[in-house]
Amino acid sequence: MRIEILNTGTELLLGTTLNSHGAWLGKELLNLGLRVAKQTTVPDGMPVVEAMKESVERADVLIVTGGLGPTSDDLTREATAEAMGVELIEDEHALRCVVEFFERLGKPMADSNKKQALIPCGAEVLPNPNGTAPGVYVPPRLGKSSPCAVFLLPGPPNELYPMYRAEVPHRLRALAEIADDHRMLELRFTGVGESSFHERLDANLHSMAGLEVGYCARPSEVDLRLIGSSAVVAQARDFALSEYPEHLISENGSSIEEVVVQLLADQGKKLSTAESCTGGRISSRITDVSGASAVFTHGFVTYSNEAKQELLGVGAEILEEFGAVSEEVATAMAEGALRASKADIAVAVTGIAGPTGGSAEKPVGTVWLGFAAKGDNAYAIEQFWPRDRESFKACVSQKALDMVRRYLLFGA
């Protein structure tokens, strides 16, 4: 099925409003196993008519956002009627929806709002409890020149998203003849490179009949997308986990920080951090998660040697002998954070983000990560990420969170 998206609105092209509809709709359609073939953005007015005529000739389904308001430049309904070769009529149900919305607000309705009750003849009205503009579904049988199904959805996200979820997926399932036993699963992994991950899994996954496989890489993460019947998706999932049993972050799109906060809450444990080269990135990611206040106690940002000594109790002799970026200092930082915060777990990082400050012995990108937990010996591991500062900090914070995740799940 060829699906196109047509976004209307001059503000989208002027840059005053971020066009996020395509990404959102693409993800929602992917949940059905469907794809967006083309996305077009046009200003208000006559360009909508031209774009609509082109799209209905190519597409099996066209999803249009915006242009359903009462003003003179809102021409999506008119464009649809012209492109599909049908007339516009005032729909009694649509008009009642508009009138009732103003009645709920206790405000008078301007005559211009009656325009929002105009519907292509034979189309279906899609209720909009969150705004004045009803949506419209034009079934493919109405098309005079081509059998294209058209969905007209409002532009504001608080109206578009609920309407889409209530009115569109079941119609798309019927149009695409999607079987009920259809599933999409996204597995999120960390600590493995995309190329090696792909090479290790791909041949086996592609041998599974009826399975569609996709990969998406981000710094220190790889998503594995599986689409197919419940049985084949479960088979593919089991295989992927057998190859990477300790690398899985989540199966529901949760980030590693969300997983860590949930694990801490489930186990009744508290975490503290001690950061040098990341400058608070780890604690920021943790506190981005709702509920972090129940599990996160302290975030020490000890960028200077003096701060490491004063706040964490790192010995001056250790700093002098081994340097700030060392196994000994990272371990001492973790132990100091654990001691000062009285938390159950502490993670610490110290490294060289660059682009300056490196040496032959400790080049830019070197980092030591320390870990300490009550009742266990503290330790540190060395990593090397010779990247720009932003990417370096992202990788270091990811690894630090993964050390916490692995400890909570596997005890190491």
pLDDT reading at 144 higher than 70: no
Phi, psi of 84 (to 5 degrees): -90, -10
Tell me which fold the domain 183-250 belongs to. Answer: Alpha-Beta Plaits (3.30.70)
Give 334 or 35, the one with higher predicted confidence: 334
Question: Peptide bond before 120: cis, by omega within 30 degrees of 0?
Answer: no
Q: Which of 19-33, 112-126, 166-180, 239-253 has the highest mean pLDDT?
A: 239-253
- Which pLDDT tens digit goes with each residue over 73-111? 788 999 999 888 888 898 888 888 888 888 887 888 887
Q: Which residues have CB under 8 Å from 106's CB, separation 6+?
A: none
Phi, psi of 184 (to 5 degrees): -125, 135
Give 342 or 184, the one with higher predicted confidence: 342
Residue 251 pLDDT class (50, 70, 90 cuts): very high
Mean pLDDT of 308-322: 97
* 228-216-282 Cα angle (round to 5): 125
Give the Å distances, CA to CA, from 41 to 74, 78, 148, 181: 14, 17, 19, 34
Give me the pLDDT at residue 145, please.
Answer: 65
Give 276 or 228, the one with higher predicted confidence: 276
Residue 30 pLDDT class (50, 70, 90 cuts): confident
Neighbouring C-beta atoms of residue 136, cutoff 10 Å: 24
Q: What is the total residue count of the chain?
A: 412
137-141, 261-265, 372-376: which has the minimum mean pLDDT? 137-141
Q: Please tell us whether the domain made up of 256-410 is placed in CATH 3.90.950.20.
A: yes
Give 214 or 350, the one with higher predicted confidence: 350
**Which residue carries 């700093």 as its tokens?**
319
Mean pLDDT of 201-227: 93
CATH 3.90.950.20 domain span(s) along the chain: 256-410
Tokens of 256: 């590693």
For the chain, the 3-state helix, strand and coil shares in percent, each to the nearest 5, are 45, 25, 35
Tokens of 27: 């993800």
Pick the CATH number of 3-176 from 3.90.1150.10, 3.65.10.10, 3.40.980.10, 1.20.1420.20: 3.40.980.10
* 298-300-302 Cα angle (round to 5): 175
CATH 3.40.980.10 domain span(s) along the chain: 3-176
Q: Which of 122-136, 209-223, 291-305 has the highest mean pLDDT?
A: 291-305
Mean pLDDT of 59-78: 89
Mean pLDDT of 170-180: 83
**Which residue carries 């529901």 as its tokens?**
252
CA distance 11 to 393: 35
- Which pLDDT tens digit goes with each residue over 270-284? 999 999 999 999 999
Tokens of 32: 């059905």
DSSP 114: G
- Which pLDDT tens digit goes with each residue over 345-390? 999 999 999 999 999 999 999 999 999 999 999 999 999 999 999 9
